[in-house]
Chain A
Amino acid sequence: MRSLTARTPAGAPTAARSRGGRAALALLPFGVLITLFLLVPTVSLVWGSFHDSRTGAFTFVNYSYLEHPLDLVPFANSLELSLASTILGGLVGLLIAQAIVSSRRPFIQEIATTFSSVAANFAGVPLAFAFIATLGVNGLLTRTLLGAGIDLYSGGFKLYSVLGLTVVYAYWEIPLMVLVMLPPLQAMKPAWREAAEILGASRWQYLRSVAIPILMTPFISSMLLLYANAFGAYATAYALTSGFVSIVPIEISNLINGDVNYDPGLADALAIGLAVIMAVCIGGRAILERRSTRWLSR
């Protein structure tokens, strides 16, 4: 019997410590970038929100909108827009995601995932103009419907409005929902359904007792993501309406770019408000994610 030569252990303790120092150095670029372009601006935001834009004095006036947030038109509009597009995008997205999973063909799943990635990235300026070409006053769909006897615009529809934005937002909310809901749907074990069936459950009983409770968490989590995305969207809205629809992101941009309305302090405060809403959504999502992975990864 030949014995194997023992290998020398890799690195004495002192070598490990100096490697630790060098390794920490490798984290420096990350730290620098984060500090300069994330932390510093954030601090500046907070600082600016508590200072009067003209006098520079410490003040709470920028946050006065918090007393009656919904009285502020931008906030009411943003809320309505985000809610509507989230519900629309969420439900349709869920349906499509389930259709993809039910197709049971890996080919379809691959195509659909790619397609959704592209569609979800189509948001912004190009999307706005694509929709103008579709549902604008002279848009293709508008004219087609006119030919079929349906006059959208005389019925009160305007693309450059909260309603119009809702439709446009849905275009990328739907694929986003698909991408986020595909993994949980695919993680549903066929055996659960079969177990329920052999125990005597009907399709509806299975849905009610097993599938929906399990999927509720990832579903709500996904909706939170959609809501956050909709609330914070700027490019699509600006490109579509040239800034004439009053939603929070556009108000913020008017306050830092406008000549008459220039008020960085207020912009900071609104931005913080927006960020808080995002934080609540993302935070809620993080909590829910942890629960759903516990159930869906066994």
Chain B
Amino acid sequence: MSSPSITGEATEEAIAILPGVHAREKAARRTGHARRTPVWAILVLLVSAVYFLLPLYATAAFGFSTGKHFTLQPLWDGLGDDGFHTSLWLSLLYSVVTTILALAVVAPTAYLVELRFPRLRATVEFLTILPFVIPPIVLVVGLSSMYGINSPVNLIASSLAPVLLIGGYFVLTLPFTFRAVDNALRAVDVKMLSEASASLGAGPLRTFIRVIVPSISLGLVSAALLAFTTAMGEFTLAALLGYPTFPVYLLNVNGFQPRMGEALVLVSFLITWAGVIALAAVARRTPGTQVVRGGPM
């Protein structure tokens, strides 16, 4: 199961509630160094860094070797493998389409609910929480029985096959994409912006594109990140519905060619990592990413 990450909300000042603050102050008396990082915190962070890097290192150690010495040959084998190309390409395609669909549908929906249909909010929020209650393994049973091979509406055999997976991915990522966009919308005074824009003569579509979208760009980026990485790493739906995406390929290849498989596991990890880093950097550079607190300062 790929578990989408939850983005945190806006933060306030940090505090130490566990040992150290005052002892440190006393120890650092007359030197003015009351604000250094406590030792235990550094230790914990170092140990956890090691813990998290260990499996990656082990993967590299296994994948980039012949059993005797270091070599990148399994990596080249993997990158050159046809199965790798087709499956990665398929995954990228599905992920990009899912992301675009998610943004294109969720952003206007969240905007309209916030601005014009506040009474629908409870319903919409319930619907967006629902996929959370229905993990991929449950959803796939429903999808399979409705649209799968043994069902009346056999989408998989038809030319509409991609629609099934993309629809499934849209639903899976919905709780996170909606929440990211909605948080961003609620942090900005959408009502005020829209009214200001309207009073200056802009139509609703222009208001949305030129005014709202830029001011929630951080939320949109988060939503895109979540949708993309989730779709790229999603296994359950793809495997049980029979789509040869990258994670499915990864599973198979590790059964037959372990070293190449492990090398490609690292490639998969790097893709995820690149996605997070790239989008985080974009988020920082996009103007207006400051989450504005509504109300008096």
A232 contacts across to B, CB distance below 8 A: 1, 135-138
Q: Is B198 positioned at the interface, with any CB of A under 8 Å from its CB?
A: yes
A116 contacts across to B, CB distance below 8 A: 5
Q: Is A213 positioned at the interface, with any CB of B under 8 Å from its CB?
A: no
Minimum CB–CB distance for B92 against chain A, Å: 16
Minimum CB–CB distance for B34 against chain A, Å: 11
B272 touches which one: A23, A121, A140 (CB < 8 A)?
A: A121
Q: How far is the CA of A100 from the CA of B15 in the complex (A)?
A: 10
Residues B5 and A233 in contact, CB atoms below 8 Å apart: no
**A-B residue pairs in contact (CB < 8 Å), sample of 24:** A23-B204, A36-B167, A41-B147, A101-B14, A102-B15, A103-B45, A114-B276, A114-B280, A124-B235, A126-B269, A133-B63, A140-B54, A140-B62, A174-B48, A175-B5, A179-B6, A180-B6, A183-B11, A203-B22, A234-B137, A238-B235, A252-B137, A252-B141, A256-B145
Range, interface on chain B: 35 or more
Residues B13 and A186 in contact, CB atoms below 8 Å apart: yes
Residues A127 and B55 in contact, CB atoms below 8 Å apart: yes
B59 contacts across to A, CB distance below 8 A: 129-130, 133-134
Given A29-B109, A124-B2, 4 more contacts at CB 8 Å?
A: A41-B142, A115-B52, A121-B230, A268-B145
B54 contacts across to A, CB distance below 8 A: 134, 140-141
A180 contacts across to B, CB distance below 8 A: 6, 8
Q: Is B18 positioned at the interface, with any CB of A under 8 Å from its CB?
A: yes
Minimum CB–CB distance for B59 against chain A, Å: 5
Q: Is B265 positioned at the interface, with any CB of A under 8 Å from its CB?
A: yes
A113-B8, A203-B19, A274-B135 as given contacts; A96 in contact with B48, CB under 8 Å: yes
A286 contacts across to B, CB distance below 8 A: 129
Residues A131 and B55 in contact, CB atoms below 8 Å apart: yes
Q: Can you name the residue of chain A whose Cβ is closest to the Cβ of B235?
A: A235
Q: Tell me the A residues contacting B by CB distance below 8 Å.
A: 7, 10-11, 19-20, 22-24, 26-27, 29-30, 33-34, 36-38, 40-42, 44-45, 48, 92, 95-96, 98-105, 108-109, 112-127, 129-134, 139-141, 171-172, 174-176, 179-180, 182-183, 185-190, 193, 197, 203, 206-207, 211, 225, 228-229, 232-236, 238-239, 249, 252-253, 256-257, 264, 267-268, 271-272, 274-275, 278-279, 282, 286
Minimum CB–CB distance for B187 against chain A, Å: 13
Q: Is B105 positioned at the interface, with any CB of A under 8 Å from its CB?
A: yes
A257 touches which one: B7, B240, B269 (CB < 8 A)?
A: B240
Residues A183 and B199 in contact, CB atoms below 8 Å apart: no
Q: Is B99 positioned at the interface, with any CB of A under 8 Å from its CB?
A: no
Residues B5 and A179 in contact, CB atoms below 8 Å apart: yes
B171 contacts across to A, CB distance below 8 A: 33-34, 37-38
Residues A235 and B247 in contact, CB atoms below 8 Å apart: yes
Residues A271 and B137 in contact, CB atoms below 8 Å apart: yes
Residues B109 and A30 in contact, CB atoms below 8 Å apart: yes
Residues A41 and B272 in contact, CB atoms below 8 Å apart: no
A234 contacts across to B, CB distance below 8 A: 1, 135-137, 235-236
A274 touches which one: B58, B63, B104, B138 (CB < 8 A)?
A: B138
Counted as pairs of residues, one from A and one from B, with CB atoms less than 8 Å apart, the total is 323
Residues A249 and B2 in contact, CB atoms below 8 Å apart: no
Q: Is B82 positioned at the interface, with any CB of A under 8 Å from its CB?
A: no
| Residue of A114, A115, A122 with highest tally of chain B CB at under 10 A | A122
A103 touches which one: B8, B37, B273 (CB < 8 A)?
A: B37
Q: Is B127 positioned at the interface, with any CB of A under 8 Å from its CB?
A: yes
Residues B63 and A172 in contact, CB atoms below 8 Å apart: no
Minimum CB–CB distance for A196 against chain B, Å: 10
Q: Which of B168-188 contact A (CB under 8 A)?
A: 168, 170-171, 174
A37-B170, A96-B45, A131-B55 as given contacts; A271 in contact with B276, CB under 8 Å: no
B234 contacts across to A, CB distance below 8 A: 124, 235
A129-B254, A130-B58 as given contacts; A121 in contact with B229, CB under 8 Å: yes
A190 contacts across to B, CB distance below 8 A: 13, 15
Q: Is B17 positioned at the interface, with any CB of A under 8 Å from its CB?
A: yes
B272 contacts across to A, CB distance below 8 A: 118, 121-122, 126
A41-B139, A121-B233, A239-B235 as given contacts; A133 in contact with B262, CB under 8 Å: yes
Residues B5 and A120 in contact, CB atoms below 8 Å apart: yes
Residues B261 and A129 in contact, CB atoms below 8 Å apart: yes
A29-B105, A38-B134, A114-B280 as given contacts; A171 in contact with B167, CB under 8 Å: no
B11 touches which one: A42, A186, A233 (CB < 8 A)?
A: A186
A30 contacts across to B, CB distance below 8 A: 105-106, 109, 124
Q: Is B89 positioned at the interface, with any CB of A under 8 Å from its CB?
A: no
Q: Can you name the residue of chain B whose Cβ is closest to the Cβ of A273?
A: B138
Q: Is B16 positioned at the interface, with any CB of A under 8 Å from its CB?
A: yes
A176 touches which one: B6, B45, B268 (CB < 8 A)?
A: B6
Minimum CB–CB distance for B129 against chain A, Å: 7
Residues A41 and B37 in contact, CB atoms below 8 Å apart: no
| Residue of B136, B137, B144, B167 with highest tally of chain A CB at under 10 A | B137
A233 contacts across to B, CB distance below 8 A: 1, 3, 135
